[in-house]
Chains A and B, each alone.
Chain A
């Protein structure tokens, strides 16, 4: 008996719930239609995430509801993309290939290196170049050997660099003269000091560490020290350092080597120093592997 009495009461209760649910769903739909689309994240918030978020949201705005002018939004989005790209950069990866920059990209750059970089300065085709180089230069001698003429005085490479902060990019290639060193740790320790000093001089500097270029097969096979196996091992150390110091690793070696990873025989007189054609290839590689506004 009691079961029969409860049935109509149960039906009424179910109907009541249905009405409540319908009303709730209706109001959610109505509210979502009347509400404006969500605001774009602030630039700081956007930087934390993927850089594609902001442009997508800009597109979703109806024109009359844009909180900022399209030009302004595009500028901010571009800036965000650049910042986000750098902040989320994986320093374990070499700088990827991207759009080619022109010579003016290097107008605020300095180059630090040994005789190979000197050859680059002479032959690459860059007309205005600020190169601090010396034959036989290594990560230690750049601090100690007075090889640069500055105001009638001889100073070390790093002292000469330190005398001016008017650069915002630094390209370094060192390591070939250190292949005979007993300690790889010492090599990295000194290399890191160069990076630290550059940052002391200019905290905003963009630092590119270039891989050590290979030598020719003939040179590599004949030399117990200056060979490609050692160069490969040193480049691994350099790449690891780039991760730790958060500087850009530019694998320029791939820009001048053959399919076997060696310097082609016709690229060098002695198997080590590059001729003009190879220095020009080197420059093309640098121009197509950059970071920053011009490259994104």
Chain B
């Protein structure tokens, strides 16, 4: 009987672990974007970009699923969530986004220096096959987004 209970507990634990692991695999772009828009504070009014414009702005060329929101130009604020075909592609996208962040910082240094702090504290991470970039005025943004993926 004890063995059976122990086996049952093990099965439950395994399911839980699998469930946590699936958070990354199952989380889709929509969920992530909704969470960020609801929980992260932006000063500027972010507007969603069309797919063509997203590709033009970030230089994406593959068929990754993506949603991006950008401020008016008065701030550096933006949000971009990309879901690549697989983790390898996501890693390549992450590298591209890292370069994008470097370029964005350089363009704001002389133009709107106060925005540089936001860029320095931006959230840019890969979660499985997804890459998330958030530049905001919210000092708790990174913690909030990390909690979503936990």
Q: Give the B-binding residues of A (Cβ under 8 A).
A: 115-116, 118-119, 121-123, 125, 127-129, 131, 134-136, 147, 149, 268-270, 272-276
Q: Give the A-binding residues of B (Cβ under 8 A).
A: 44-45, 47, 49-50, 52-53, 56-57, 59, 70-75, 103, 107-108, 110-112
CB-nearest residue of chain B relative to A272?
A: B74
The answer to whether A116 touches B52 (Cβ under 8 A) is no
CB-nearest residue of chain A relative to B70?
A: A122
Given contacts A116-B73, A269-B74, contact A147 B52 (CB under 8 A): no
Q: Which residues of B contact A123 (CB under 8 A)?
A: 47
The answer to whether B59 touches A115 (Cβ under 8 A) is no
Given contacts A134-B107, A135-B111, contact A127 B53 (CB under 8 A): yes
Q: Which of B44, B50, B74, B107 sits near A127, CB closer than 8 Å?
A: B50
Nearest Cβ on chain B to A254's Cβ, whole angstroms:
21
Q: Which residues of B contact A273 (CB under 8 A)?
A: 72-74
Q: Which residues of A contact B107 (CB under 8 A)?
A: 134-136, 147
Given contacts A115-B111, A135-B111, contact A269 B45 (CB under 8 A): yes
The answer to whether A122 touches B74 (Cβ under 8 A) is no
CB-nearest residue of chain B relative to A270?
A: B74
Q: Which residues of A contact B74 (CB under 8 A)?
A: 268-270, 272-273
The answer to whether A122 touches B111 (Cβ under 8 A) is no
Q: Which residues of B contact A276 (CB under 8 A)?
A: 47
Given contacts A269-B72, A273-B72, A275-B45, contact A136 B111 (CB under 8 A): yes
CB-nearest residue of chain A relative to B100?
A: A149
Please indicate which of the listed interface residues A122, A270, A273, A275 has the most CB atoms of chain B within 10 Å of its own CB. Answer: A122
CB-nearest residue of chain A relative to B47?
A: A276
Nearest Cβ on chain A to B45's Cβ, whole angstroms:
6
Given contacts A115-B111, A272-B74, A275-B72, contact A122 B49 (CB under 8 A): yes
The answer to whether B56 touches A121 (Cβ under 8 A) is yes
Q: Could you write out 23 A-B pairs with CB less than 8 Å apart? A: A118-B73, A119-B72, A121-B56, A122-B47, A122-B57, A127-B52, A128-B52, A129-B56, A134-B107, A135-B108, A135-B112, A136-B110, A136-B111, A149-B103, A268-B74, A269-B44, A269-B74, A270-B72, A270-B75, A273-B74, A275-B45, A275-B72, A276-B47
Nearest Cβ on chain A to B41's Cβ, whole angstroms:
15
Q: How far, in angstroms, from A118 to B104 measured CA to CA in the complex?
A: 13
Please indicate which of the listed interface residues B53, B59, B75, B111 has the most CB atoms of chain A within 10 Å of its own CB. Answer: B53
Q: Which residues of B contact A268 (CB under 8 A)?
A: 72, 74
CB-nearest residue of chain A relative to B51?
A: A127
Known: A119-B72, A125-B50. 17 other contacts (CB 8 A): A121-B53, A121-B56, A122-B47, A122-B57, A122-B70, A128-B52, A129-B56, A131-B56, A135-B107, A149-B59, A149-B103, A269-B44, A269-B45, A269-B72, A273-B72, A273-B74, A276-B47
CB-nearest residue of chain A relative to B104?
A: A135
Q: Which residues of A contact B103 (CB under 8 A)?
A: 149
Q: Which of A119, A127, A131, A147 sits near B73, CB closer than 8 Å?
A: A119
Q: Which residues of B contact A269 (CB under 8 A)?
A: 44-45, 71-72, 74-75
CB-nearest residue of chain A relative to B107?
A: A135
Given contacts A127-B52, A269-B44, contact A274 B72 (CB under 8 A): yes
Q: Which residues of A contact B59 (CB under 8 A)?
A: 149
The answer to whether B53 touches A122 (Cβ under 8 A) is yes
Nearest Cβ on chain B to A229's Cβ, whole angstroms:
22
Q: How far, in angstroms, from A85 to B53 measured CA to CA in the complex?
A: 36
Nearest Cβ on chain B to A172's Cβ, whole angstroms:
18
Nearest Cβ on chain A to B99's Cβ, whole angstroms:
9
Q: How far, in angstroms, from A24 to B43 measured CA to CA in the complex?
A: 91
Q: How far, in angstroms, from A129 to B49 measured CA to CA in the complex?
A: 13
Q: Which residues of A contact B56 (CB under 8 A)?
A: 121, 129, 131
Nearest Cβ on chain A to B89's Cβ, whole angstroms:
19
Q: How far, in angstroms, from A116 to B111 measured CA to CA in the complex?
A: 13
Please indicate which of the listed interface residues A147, A269, A273 has the most CB atoms of chain B within 10 Å of its own CB. Answer: A269
Q: How far, in angstroms, from A131 to B73 measured CA to CA in the complex?
A: 15
Q: Which residues of A contact B112 (CB under 8 A)?
A: 135
